[in-house]
A and B are shown apart, each in its own frame.
Chain A
Amino acid sequence: MVSFKKPDLDSFQERIHIATLFVTFCFLLLITRLVWLQLVSHGKYALLAESNRIALVPAPANRGLLIDRNGIVIGRNYSALTLDVNAEEVKGNVDQLISDLSEIIDISPRDKRNFKRSLEDSRNMGTFPLRSMLNETETARFMANRYRFPGVEIRARSFREYPYNELASHLIGYIGRVSQKDKERMQAEIEGAKADDPDALQASFLPGIQYVGKIGLEQSYETVLRGVPGYDQVEITAGGKPVRTLSSAPSVPGKNVVLSVDIKLQYLVEQLYGNFRGAFVAIEPETGDVLAFVSKPNFNPNDFVEGIDAGTWKALNESLEKPLYNRPLKGIYPPGSTYKPFMALAALETGKRTPNQAISDPGYFTFGNHTFKDDKVGGHGSVDMAKSIIESCDTYYYLLARDMGVNMMHDFMKPLGFGQITGIDLDGESRGILPSTSWKERSFKKPEQQKWYEGETISLGIGQGYNSFTILQLAHATANLANNGVVMKPHIVKSIENPITRERVLTTPKESYKIDLKKEHIEVIKNAMLDVNRFGTSAAAFKGANYLPAGKTGTAQVFSLGSKTYNHSSTPEFLRDHALYIVFAPADKPKIAIAMVVENAGFGAAQAAPIARKALDYYLEGRWPKEIPEWKNAP
C-alpha cells in the first residue's frame, strides 16, 4: 500500500462501520415491528383475517344512458328484484339448492346455466343473480321460505335494457357479463395504470365491474358509460351474513352519451327496408353528424345482456342473412355507378375532360382484346359529362379511366375518403380497397400478380374492378362532395352528458381538412346529379319533391357475368346485383347526405332510390309515409 492512501482507506472503513450500524438499526426496527405483529398482536390479526373473509361488497356504478339527438333514450337501466345467491355459501351443493328453489320459484334452464357460468368465472367469490324480475307472488313465496335458504336473498339490481329492441342494434351494440378475457384485458390496463399511481388500483377494483360493452357504442364508449364502482365494507358473521355496513365508498355513475343519430329517421329507414338486407348511412355534411346508421337485418341486443341462449345464438350466427354483421361499418361493396360523379369531378380537377367535351358511344369499348360493354345496347350516342352522369353511360368512364390511369384516380379519391378509415367512433371499421399500383404490389405475393395490368384500369371507371368500399365511406365521400370539399370526420356521438347536472360537453370533431376543389367544377357535378333525379335514372322516385335532391344510382355486380347478359329474375337471390344509391339534399345547402345499398335487389333506381326519397321527405319536411306505423316512444 502506498502510504498517502491510508487515511482514505481508514476513513472508508470507518464509514462502512457506521453504515453497518445503520443497517443493523433499521433491521432491528423491522424485526421489532414483525415481532409486534406476529407474536404480540398475532391473536388480534388472526381474528381479523378470519372475519376478513368478505369485507368488501362491490356496489356497481349506474351505467350511462344512450340518448338520441332529440332526447329519446335508446339504452337505459331498470331496477328489478332478483334472487341473489352468495357463491361461497352454496359451494358444493348448487344443484340441490336450485332444485329446492325451483319448487317455489320458476327457474329456467337458461337462468341455471348463466348462474353456473358466473360461478365458474368468479371462482366462487361474490354474489350472483339466479333469477331476475321476480314478481310479487314469487317474492312473497320466497320470503315465507327464506329460512330454508341461507346465503340466498332478494335484492334490487340494475339491468341494462334497450327499449326499442332490434332498432339500431348494430349501432348501439350491447353489454354482457365480464368474461375471463375482458378481465385479463382490464387487469393489463390496471397494471399499466399502477406503474404511475398505485391508487388507480382501487378505482377499478375488478369485482365491482360486472358488465362491459361488447360491441357497438356500448363497447367504444365503455369507459365513459361505465363509471367507477364503489364498495360497502361489510362486517360478516362466520356464516357469511352481513351484519352491518361499516362504511361505504359511493360509486360514481357513468356519463350519458348523446348521439347525433335521429332515432326516428333510423326507425323509418329500418322499416322501409322491410325484409331487404343492406346498409344505409346518412350524414349531416356540415358537421359530420351521423343521422342514421342502418344495418339490416338486425338482432335484438336485449338477448345478449344476460347471456344469449344457445338456440337464438345458433340461429343468428348461422343465418345466411348474417344479422350480426355490421354492414355499413364492415361490409365492402363495389360502388358501381355511384362512383361516376366522383370520377367526373376527378376528370375536371385533373384537366382530363371539360364539361362539354363529348364522346361518341357505340355501346361498348374495346381495350386490347377485351370488350367492355355498356348496359345500353347500341350505346348512348354523343355523350358529354352531364349526360354521362344523368344516363349513367359506362363507355364515357371506360375511356376516362384509361386516360387517367389507376394512380391518378387513386390520388384524387383518397382525400375524399375512399378506401380510408374514416375514424368513426365505432370499433372494427373495414378499410376497403382503393386500388393503386403500389397497393397491388403490397397485397399480392407472386410477382406476376403484383404487376398492374392496364386492362384492370378500365372497369375502375364505373366503380367495379378492385374498387370496394364501405357504405360509410361512400356516405362520407358524398357528404364531402356536398360540403364542397370540407372534410368532417363522421361521428355517432355528439356530446357527453353529466347524469346529475345534465351538463353536456361537445365531443364533435373540428374540420379534418379541406380538399382544394374548384367551385365551378363542383357546380357541374351537382347540377348533373340534380338532373339525375329530374329526368335521369331515378327521376321516377323523386317526382314531385319540394326540395332539390342531387343523386346517383348504382348497381354493383355480385359475381362476374362473363359475356352473358344479366337477368334479374333468373339469377339466384344471393347472386343478384346490389342496388346502390347516393343522394344529398337540398343541393344548394345540403342538410343530409345519404349512401345506401340494398343487397341483391337489382337496379338502384327501382329499389334503393324510393327508400332514400321517403327518408328525405321525412327528414327535410316531416312527412311520414302512410304505410309505415307511426313512431311511438317506449314506455
Chain B
Amino acid sequence: MEKRSLIHRFDFLWSGLDKGLGLIVLGLIVISTVTFISASSGTSVKLIDQARNLVLAYSVMLVISRIPPKWLERSAVWIYGFGIALLLAVAAFGLIKKGARRWVNVGVVIQPSEIMKIAMPLMLAWYFQKREGVLKNWDYAVAALLLILPVALIARQPDLGTALLVMSAGLYVIILAGFPWKYIIPVVGFGVFCILLIIIFGGYICEPQVKWFMLHDYQKHRVCTLLDPSTDPLGKGFHTIQSVIAIGSGGLFGKGWLNGTQAHLEFIPEKHTDFIFAVFSEEFGLIGNLILLGLFTALIQRGFAISSSAPTLFTRLLGGAITMIFFTYAFVNMGMVSGLLPVVGVPLPFISYGGTALVTLGIGVGILMSIHRYRRLVQS
C-alpha cells in the first residue's frame, strides 16, 4: 500500500500521455543516448548536457500536453504575430555572425526562425479552421501569403535550410486542408523536371564561372558536390564522402558499439549533431538502420492516427502537419548523411545532440499528446 502510493505521487509525470507515442519516442531516445556516448567521445560535449536537454524537453512536452488545443487555437495568431515581429526585429537590428543575420538580443540571444517552425502550422491550421465550410479558392492565396512572409524573411537572413523547412511545414497544412490536386500535380511535375535537368546538366552548371540565380555560392557548392562529391574531396565534398564511407563500411551488422573507425578517427564532421546518423549506421549496420526507420515509421503512423481521430479541423491539420515535419526532418537528415540530398543543417529528430532542436521536438510531441488527450472533450 505504502509503495503504491509512493509511485502514484509521480503519476503526474506520465498520466494522460499517449502510451504509443511515448514508447516510440522513448525508443528513439535510447538509441540517441547509446549513439551519443560513442559519437561524443573526443569532443567537449558531455552526457550530462544531453541529459539536461532531455529533462528540459520532457518538461516542455509535459506542460504542452496538458494545454487544451482550444487554447493553442486562440493564441495561434498571437504566436504567429510574435514570430513575425521577431523576424522583423532580426531584419532591422539583428546580430550578424559570419555574414548571416539570424539572431536577435531580447535579453537573451535567440534565433526567431526556430519559433516559426511551430508557429507556421499553428497559424495556417487556425486560418483553415476559421474558414471551415466557407472555404473558397482565394483562401489558399491568403494562406500562401501568410506562408511567404516569414519564409522570405528567413530566406534573406540568409538561412535557406530553415526557410525550406518552415515552408514545407506550411505547405503540409495547405495540402492537408484540401488544396486541389489540379494545382499540386503541375507544381510537383515541374519540380521533378527541374531536378532531372540539374542532374543531367550538372556538369555544365557547376562550372565555377556559372552564377546561380538567387542562390549563394556556398549553396551552389552543396548541390554540386552532391552531384559529384569527388570534384572536391578535401573541401565541400568532404562531409558527404566520409559519411557515405562510414555507412557503407558498417555493412549488415555494423562494427559494433564504440568500434566505428570512421567516427573515432574523426573523419566525420559534426558527428554528435547533424552527422550522428553516420556514426549510428557504422556501428549498428543495416539492421540498426531498419530498426531506426521502423521507429520513425511507427512515430509517423501514430501521429497520423492521432490526427485522423482528432475532433476539429484545427487539431487534424496541426497534428498532420507536425507529423509530416517529423518525417521531413528524419528523411532530409538521413538522406543528406547517406548522400541522397544536399547538405543542409537539419538535425535527426530525437537523435542528434542539441538543446533547441530537442525543445522544438518536445513542443511538437506535446501538441500531439494534447490532441490525443482532449480528443473527446472538445466539440466545435
Contact B281 A49 (CB under 8 A): no
With A33-B338, A199-B236 as known contacts, state yes or no: A38 contacts B248, CB within 8 Å: yes
Contact with A along B263-288 (1 / 0, CB 8 A): 00111011000100000010001100
A187 to B286, CA, bound (A): 32
Q: Is the CB of A52 within 8 A of B267?
A: yes
Checking A15, A184, A202 against B236 with a beta-carbon cut-off of 8 angstroms, the contacting residue is: A202
Is the pair A39, B262 in contact by a Cβ cutoff of 8 Å? no
Interface residues of A in 2-49 (CB under 8 A from B): 4-5, 8-9, 11-13, 15-16, 19-20, 23, 26-27, 29-31, 33-35, 37-39, 41-42, 44-46, 48-49
Inside 8 A of B102's CB, which chain A residues have their CB?
A: 195-196
- Chain B 79-119 near chain A by CB (<8 Å), digits 1 or 0: 00000000000000000011110100000000000000000
Cα–Cα distance between A193 and B297 once the two chains are bound (Å) = 34
Q: Does any Cβ of B come within 8 Å of A500's Cβ?
A: no
CB contacts under 8 Å to A, within B157-181, are 172, 175-176, 178
Give bound CA distance, A195 to B161, whole Å: 11
Complex CA–CA separation, A249 to B334 (angstroms): 29
Given contacts A30-B335, A249-B234, contact A39 B286 (CB under 8 A): yes
Interface check A247, CB cutoff 8 A: yes
Total A-B residue pairs with C-beta atoms closer than 8 Å?
A: 164
> B178 — which chain A residues lie within 8 A by C-beta?
8, 11-12, 15
- Whole-angstrom CA separation of A55 from B242 in the bound complex: 11
Instruction: Return B241 CB to nearest CB of chain A, in Å.
Output: 9
Q: Which residues of B contact A34 (CB under 8 A)?
A: 247, 281, 286, 289, 338
Q: Is there an interface contact between B269 and A201, defined as CB atoms closer than 8 Å?
A: yes
B373 on interface, CB distance cutoff 8 Å: no
A352 within 8 A of B: no
Nearest CB in chain B: distance from A228 CB, A: 11
Determine the distance from Cα of A35 to Cα of B334 in the docked complex, in whole angstroms: 13
Name A27's contact: one of B233, B266, B320, B331 (CB within 8 Å).
B331
Task: Judge whether B68 is part of the interface by a CB distance below 8 angstroms.
Answer: no
User: Closest residue to A31 on the B side, CB-wise?
Assistant: B293
Within 8 A of A (CB), among B194-222: 218, 221
Decide: A196 and B98 in contact? CB cutoff 8 A: yes
Q: Are B290 and A31 in contact (CB under 8 A)?
A: yes
- Say yes or no for B59: interface residue by CB 8 A criterion: no
- Closest CB in chain A relative to B126 CB, distance in Å: 16
Pair A184/B334 contact, Cβ less than 8 Å: no
Residue of A nearest to B249 (CB): A49
| In the complex, per-residue mask of A184-204: 1 if CB is within 8 Å of any chain B CB, else 0 | 100100001111111111100
> In the complex, given contacts A34-B281, A38-B248, what are 19 additional A-B residue pairs having Cβ atoms less than 8 angstroms apart?
A12-B178, A12-B317, A16-B176, A16-B304, A20-B300, A30-B340, A37-B248, A37-B338, A44-B248, A45-B247, A46-B249, A49-B248, A49-B261, A52-B261, A52-B267, A196-B102, A201-B269, A201-B270, A246-B233
Q: Which residue of B lies closest to A206 (CB)?
A: B266
Residue of B nearest to A18 (CB): B175
8 Å CB contact of A198 from B239, B246, B293: B239
Which residues in chain B, 18-61, are within 8 Å of chain A measured between CB atoms? 42-44
The answer to whether B221 touches A199 (Cβ under 8 A) is yes
Q: Count residues of A near B (Cβ-Cβ below 8 Å).
A: 55
Contacts of A9 in B (CB 8 A): 316
Query: In the complex, which residues of chain B have a beta carbon less than 8 angstroms from the beta carbon of A29?
Result: 340
**In the complex, how many angstroms separate the beta carbon of A21 from the nearest chain B beta carbon?**
11
CB distance from B88 to the nearest CB of A (A): 20
Asked if B250 and A38 sit within 8 Å, CB to CB, the answer is yes
CA distance in complex: A217, B235 (Å)? 31
Give 26 pairs: A residue, B residue, CB < 8 Å, sorted on A: A8-B313, A13-B308, A15-B178, A16-B176, A19-B172, A19-B320, A30-B335, A31-B290, A33-B338, A34-B286, A38-B251, A39-B251, A42-B248, A42-B250, A45-B248, A49-B249, A52-B242, A52-B267, A187-B43, A193-B97, A195-B98, A196-B98, A196-B100, A199-B218, A202-B236, A246-B233
**CB of A345 to closest CB in B, whole Å:** 40
Q: Which residues of A lie under 8 Å from residue B331 when comparing CB positions?
A: 26-27, 30
A41 to B327 CA separation, bound complex (whole angstroms): 27
Binding site for B on A (CB under 8 A): 4-5, 8-9, 11-13, 15-16, 19-20, 23, 26-27, 29-31, 33-35, 37-39, 41-42, 44-46, 48-49, 52-53, 55-56, 123, 125, 184, 187, 192-202, 231, 233, 246-249
Min CB gap A547→B, angstroms: 49
User: Within the complex, which residue of A27, A48, A202 is in contact with B248, where a contact is CB–CB below 8 Å?
Assistant: A48
Let me know if B223 is at the binding interface, CB within 8 A.
no
Given contacts A30-B335, A233-B234, contact A48 B97 (CB under 8 A): no
A13: B residues at CB distance < 8 A = 308
Q: Quick one: which of B133, B252, B307 contacts A42, CB cutoff 8 A? A: B252
Interface residues of B in 302-328 (CB under 8 A from A): 304, 307-308, 313, 316-317, 320, 324, 327
- Nearest Cβ in chain A — how far from B108, in angstroms? 16
Point out the residues of chain A lying under 8 angstroms from B236, CB to CB: 199, 202
A-chain residues with CB within 8 Å of residue B239 when the two chains form the complex: 198, 201
Given the complex, which residues of B lie within 8 Å of A202, measured CB to CB? Answer: 234-236, 238
CA separation between A111 and B119, bound complex, in Å? 61
Interface centre among B43, B317, B331 (most CB of A within 10 A): B331
Counting chain B CB atoms within 10 Å of each CB, the highest count among A5, A16, A38, A55 belongs to A38
The answer to the question of B343 belonging to the interface, with a C-beta cut-off of 8 Å to chain A, is yes
| B349 shortest CB reach to chain A, Å | 14
CB contacts (< 8 Å) of A196 on chain B: these are: 97-100, 102
B151 at the interface (CB under 8 A from A): no
Q: Mark B323-347, 1 if CB is under 8 A from A, else 0.
A: 0100100010011001110010100
| Chain B: minimal CB distance from A308 (Å) | 27
Known A-B contacts A30-B335, A38-B247, A46-B249; the reply to A231 vs B267 at CB < 8 A is: no
Question: In this complex, what residue of B is CB-closest to A192?
Answer: B97
Contact partner of B98 among A35, A41, A55, A200, CB < 8 A? A200
A12 CA to B177 CA, complexed, in Å:
7
- Kindly provide the distance from the CB of A423 to the nearest chain B CB, expressed in whole angstroms: 21
Interface core residue of A15, A187, A193 (most chain B CB under 10 Å): A15
Question: Is B245 an interface position by the 8 A CB rule?
Answer: yes
Contact A37 B218, CB 8 Å, known A200-B98, A202-B238: no
In the bound assembly, the distance between CA atoms of A45 and B278 in angstroms comes to 13
Contact B345 A198 (CB under 8 A): yes
- Are A23's CB and B234's CB within 8 A? no
Q: How far is the CB of A456 from chain B (nearest CB, A)?
A: 39
Query: Do B316 and A12 touch across chains, with their CB atoms under 8 A apart?
Result: yes
Tell me whether A16 and B308 are in contact in the complex, defined as CB-CB below 8 angstroms, given that A30-B340, A37-B247 are known contacts.
Answer: yes
B234 to chain A: which residues have CB within 8 Å?
56, 202, 231, 233, 247-249
Cα distance, A508 to B81, chains bound together (Å): 45
Q: How far is the CA of A27 from the CA of B330 in the complex (A)?
A: 10
In the complex, which residues of chain B have a beta carbon less than 8 angstroms from the beta carbon of A248?
234
| Contact assessment for B270 and A194 in the assembled complex, using a CB-CB cutoff below 8 Å | yes
CB-nearest residue of chain A to B296: A27
Contact of A193 among B98, B261, B289 (CB under 8 A): B98
